Chains A and B, each alone.
Chain A
Amino acid sequence: MSNNPMLSLRNFSVSFDTARGPLYAVRNIDIDVADGESLGIVGESGSGKTVLSRGAMGLLPKRAAHRSGTVIYDDHDLSQTPRKELREYWGTGMAMIFQDPMTALNPVRKIGAQLTEGLRIRLQMSKTDANARGIELLNRVRIPDPAAVMEKYPFQLSGGMRQRVMIAIALACKPRLLFADEPTTALDVTVQAQVMQLLSELRHEMGMSMVIVTHDLGVVAGHTDRIAVMYAGEVVEIAPTKQLFANMKMPYTEALMKSIPRLDSPSGQRLPVISGRLPDPTQPETGCSFASRCPYVTDKCREATPPLVEATPGHSYRCWFPIGGSR
């Protein structure tokens, strides 16, 4: 195996054609995911996390979404690969846990059918083998009475169960890289922790790489090696997880940090939310994209776009006036 990263995005951008003109959902992203690594992608709703992960896999609709830049997976340039060949990677090379387990499971097909079809078609398993493996998988994601669940429809399961089914489906063909798009958002807090724990266990067990997408820094804190913070389609800070928590540079990361729900906070207390909204993605602006909401904003921020600079090896950020730096 080469020392190159398993997945490598270079200058990766995605834009959509909309009625109001092109919408720049993801802009100039450079990200690597090493073999066996767990990378968190964190950002608020609308920051482009889903578009980034689907775009990297090649799952965006061809007609509406324009991709540019390169996606190198296992030394193959997927951005140049036709969809027919991309399919060879899907399920076995890369798989995805979708954001909403209610809409990502086909409402009129049984769990068993949806779970085993990948096994049967991609791995050419027989029906009996695939069924046995399906039950094993459901068992592995800790679904009680898996044989009965195989015969059920998605609407007959609770949210937590559906999410576990999604995980089982994504893992069915033992992918080497798993994208988990908000794997816990639809769940309540105790179940969230269980599902994250399960994902971490499975990652170690199967030796796969994982990209965990979330809007909640707290969710990925204990389950990732590195974290990339996204804002308005850009990576604004990326660092090893410990380094990020100990020594964040970007004011947006700080704001995200403050909005992590704390278990010891008095119940009912509202979390500090970041005031203001994301800039309009159809109106590219000059200057720092966080300027309109940043407490430390100066004129320079509005006039010139801060470049991605390295604080320490492996820790980069985009800000003229980083926290802890000279202001």
Chain B
Amino acid sequence: MNRALPILRRLGTLLAVIVLSTFFLSCLLRLLPTDLVDMILTMGTPEEKAALRRTLYLDRDVFTSYFMWFKDFIRGDMGLLYGTGGGETVWSHVTRSLPISLLIMLYTQIIALVIAVPLGIFTAYRAGKKSDRVISNTLFTASSVPNFAIAFLLIILVGVKLKWFPTLEYVGFKDDPFQHFKHLVLPCVSLGVGLAASYTRLLRTDVIAALKDDYVTMAASKGLSDSRILLTHVFRPASVTLLTAAALNMGALIGGTLVIENIFAIPGFGFEIAYALATKEFVALQSFIAITALGYVIFNVTADLLIGVVDPRTRGSR
């Protein structure tokens, strides 16, 4: 069976999603109540306005202008942030803020998994007992609280009252690794609690199912120790679902990260988007949203490919 074909088909879908979403945006830009050029150059001369109109391809028809924009976008030429006096490129803002957001997402996943793996296994072994019920119910409650509410709660309790962790701003890893992590604890925990709850539930279900499976009894009948059975026979198959969920959640995590960055004043991608919205930087916004869509699709495709790697059963059948 040709294994490249499904991947190609997926990449085709990916391209279609990006093109459609950004094309939709570029149409919206033309439908703004005030003309985009007038908005940017409130005081500009007709010549200056005409020049900008040409740069933004607004003098062409919808399709040509979109095509030109897309070509520039692919090349990393995303135009300028006009509110800064035209001095800063959108690209420079992207390269500065995007890594911060990606780091937050990565840390969040790690925190969620570190919480979920032991809890999932523990509650599965105790299924139905009191400790399982307490943990499962607590997590279920926690997962129904929105991220930002958890964030505010943590800020007030852990940040302001106890003063354990800073609640504002960001420190780069290279500048001060300790402060870097210290500043990201609260944002990542706020994002991770909900994820941890859903991962725990998934893992619990899977481990309970695995424990009932004959292959676990079979492993026991070989005379293996309980910890070895847990690791190689129970957790390994269950981890397939967990990894799948983690990969699929990357996309969903984008939205949460954008919100959390604004709460904790972290200059990540979400901060940039909010800033662009507030200052009506629509040119930058178009690229930001295109990048977000791109990220969403890339995460989902990667998740699919990853599942194929970790779960041998799905290999070749996709």
Q: Which of A92, A106, A117, A170 contacts B215 (CB 8 A)?
A: A106
Question: Is the beta-carbon distance between A105 and B215 smaller than 8 angstroms?
Answer: yes
Q: Min CB distance, B310 to chain A, in Å?
A: 8
Q: Which of B209-232 contact A (CB under 8 A)?
A: 213-215, 217-225, 228, 232
Given contact pairs A103-B214, A104-B215, A109 touches B236 in the complex (Cβ within 8 A): yes
Residues from chain A with a CB closer than 8 A to the CB of B224 are 87, 117-118, 121
Residues from chain A with a CB closer than 8 A to the CB of B218 are 96, 98, 104-106, 169
Closest to A99 in B: B214
Q: Which of B217, B222, B311 contacts A122 (CB 8 A)?
A: B222
Interface: B303 (CB within 8 A): no
Given contact pairs A117-B232, A153-B312, A155-B313, A106 touches B222 in the complex (Cβ within 8 A): no
Residues from chain A with a CB closer than 8 A to the CB of B223 are 87-92, 118, 121-122, 173
Q: Min CB distance, B209 to chain A, in Å?
A: 11
Interface: B166 (CB within 8 A): no
Residues from chain B with a CB closer than 8 A to the CB of A117 are 219, 222, 224, 228, 232
Question: Is the beta-carbon distance between A106 and B237 smaller than 8 angstroms?
Answer: yes
- Distance A94 CA – B231 CA, assembled complex (angstroms): 24
Residues from chain A with a CB closer than 8 A to the CB of B228 are 117, 121
Q: Which of A65-105 contact B (CB under 8 A)?
A: 87-92, 95-96, 98-100, 103-105
Q: Min CB distance, A111 to chain B, in Å?
A: 11
Interface: B240 (CB within 8 A): yes
- Distance A139 CA – B42 CA, assembled complex (angstroms): 84
Is chain B's interface secondary structure helix, strand, loop, or mixed overall? Answer: helix
Question: Is the beta-carbon distance between A91 and B222 smaller than 8 angstroms?
Answer: yes
Closest to A122 in B: B223
Q: Which of A172-196 contact B (CB under 8 A)?
A: 172-173
Q: How many of chain A's residues have a CB under 8 angstroms from any CB in B?
A: 32
Q: Min CB distance, B63 to chain A, in Å?
A: 49
Q: Which of A88, A90, A121, A153 contacts B221 (CB 8 A)?
A: A90
Interface: B201 (CB within 8 A): no
Given contact pairs A54-B217, A59-B217, A103-B214, A108 touches B236 in the complex (Cβ within 8 A): yes
Q: Which of A118, A153, A172 contacts B313 (CB 8 A)?
A: A153
Interface: B183 (CB within 8 A): no
Q: How many of chain B's residues have a CB under 8 angstroms from any CB in A?
A: 21
Closest to A179 in B: B221
Residues from chain A with a CB closer than 8 A to the CB of B236 are 106, 108-109
| Contact digits for A8-26, partner B, Cβ 8 Å, 1 yes 0 no | 0000000000000000000
Q: Min CB distance, A74 to chain B, in Å?
A: 15
Question: Is the beta-carbon distance between B233 and A59 smaller than 8 angstroms?
Answer: no
Residues from chain A with a CB closer than 8 A to the CB of B233 are 106, 109
Residues from chain A with a CB closer than 8 A to the CB of B225 are 87, 121
Q: Which of B221, B223, B237 has the most CB of A within 10 A?
A: B221
Interface: A57 (CB within 8 A): yes
- Distance A169 CA – B213 CA, assembled complex (angstroms): 17
Q: Min CB distance, A23 to chain B, in Å?
A: 17
Question: Is the beta-carbon distance between A104 and B214 smaller than 8 angstroms?
Answer: yes
Question: Is the beta-carbon distance between A103 and B213 smaller than 8 angstroms?
Answer: yes
Closest to B217 in A: A59
Q: Which of A59, A91, A107, A122 contacts B237 (CB 8 A)?
A: A107
Q: 26 pairs across A/B with beta carbons < 8 Å?
A: A59-B220, A87-B220, A89-B223, A90-B222, A91-B223, A96-B221, A98-B214, A100-B214, A104-B214, A104-B215, A104-B217, A105-B218, A106-B237, A107-B237, A107-B312, A108-B240, A108-B311, A108-B313, A117-B224, A117-B228, A121-B225, A121-B228, A122-B222, A153-B313, A170-B221, A173-B222
Chain A residues within CB distance 8 Å of chain B: 54, 57, 59, 87-92, 95-96, 98-100, 103-109, 113, 117-118, 121-122, 153, 155, 169-170, 172-173
Chain B residues within CB distance 8 Å of chain A: 213-215, 217-225, 228, 232-233, 236-237, 240, 311-313
